[in-house]
Structure 1
Amino acid sequence: MKSADLLLDAFDRVRDAVHGAVQGLSEDELTARIDDEANSIAWLVWHLTRIQDDHVAGAFGTEQVWTEQDWISRFGLGFPKGATGYGHSSAQVAAVRAPADLLLGYYDAVHARSLEQLGGLTNSDLDRVVDEAWDPPVTLGVRLVSVIAEDNQHAGQAAYVRGVLERR
């Protein structure tokens, strides 16, 4: 198996988890919170998608799907253009309201773009430095593993919230 195939498989597994957490839920269920400070499924999925979009586009030097395909207007959240959810307050988490088709539409567009960019990678591509703001500098391989790890963590949190809500 090539490194690119391994990465494609990992991103496909994130997709499966995201769809499993979101499909079939109403907007009210997607925005429900376990308590006043907890993240909703809608926010978790929006956030993990924004991180993937931001980080993969940055690593490949492309425009984010968020702006290029005008998902920013479709969501109408009123956040700054570059907002990814990092450091959001409880009120900002609550402001992320979206139906399942919008959340999954944006996620699927980012997923498709990610697969396009990852499909032709070689092992040597993974050693390319993509972020020199860190010590040591971040390589493409490290950045992609970081995105997969964060996405899996938040997709798992969304699945957990769904399970809690379904048992209420």
Structure 2
Amino acid sequence: MIEFQGKLDAFEFNHWQYHIPLSDDISSQMMDEKHRRVLVWIKDGGPFHMALMKAKDYWYVLVNQELRTQFKLDEKNSFAVKIDRDHSEYGHEMPEELQVLMDQDEEGAMFFKKLTPGKQRMMVYTVTKVKNPESRMRKALAIMHHLKLTQGKLDYKQLNELIKYYNKL
């Protein structure tokens, strides 16, 4: 784990503008050819699963509005940052609800495992971001149902409709 004083910076060219720039020394220690996922702690809050991104001149991690508000981050003041490699399989912790379904449903698990790592991470995050355990279970059920229905081909519009249907149950 590496600790340093970070500073919020902003790109001027897009809406994903706020980020924490990282030195080449830090970024090189956090990644290899295939691995750019990191855990970040901001002011002792976290860990937050993030990805190292490359601008023309430097590496950075994006900082969303929620984190900027939660930690009262601005471009004027530096703050404590800790960063470490994310060794989790999916770039997020696997929610128990989705893991239970994958353990019980071999066909759904097979389709899940055939997804690209980014799509797997998106499905895990879709379930993880929900706080209520019942709602997480309904989302996980909808995802597994969708994967089997489409033979592992993600159709986000169809998946969202299925999630809405499961939320009404």
Give me the TM-score of the superposition, normalised by structure 2. Answer: 0.24
Give me the TM-score of the superposition, normalised by structure 1. Answer: 0.24
Please identify the structure whose Cα radius of gyration is greater: 2
More helix by percentage: 1
Relative contact order, CA 8 A, sep 6+: which one is greater?
A: 1
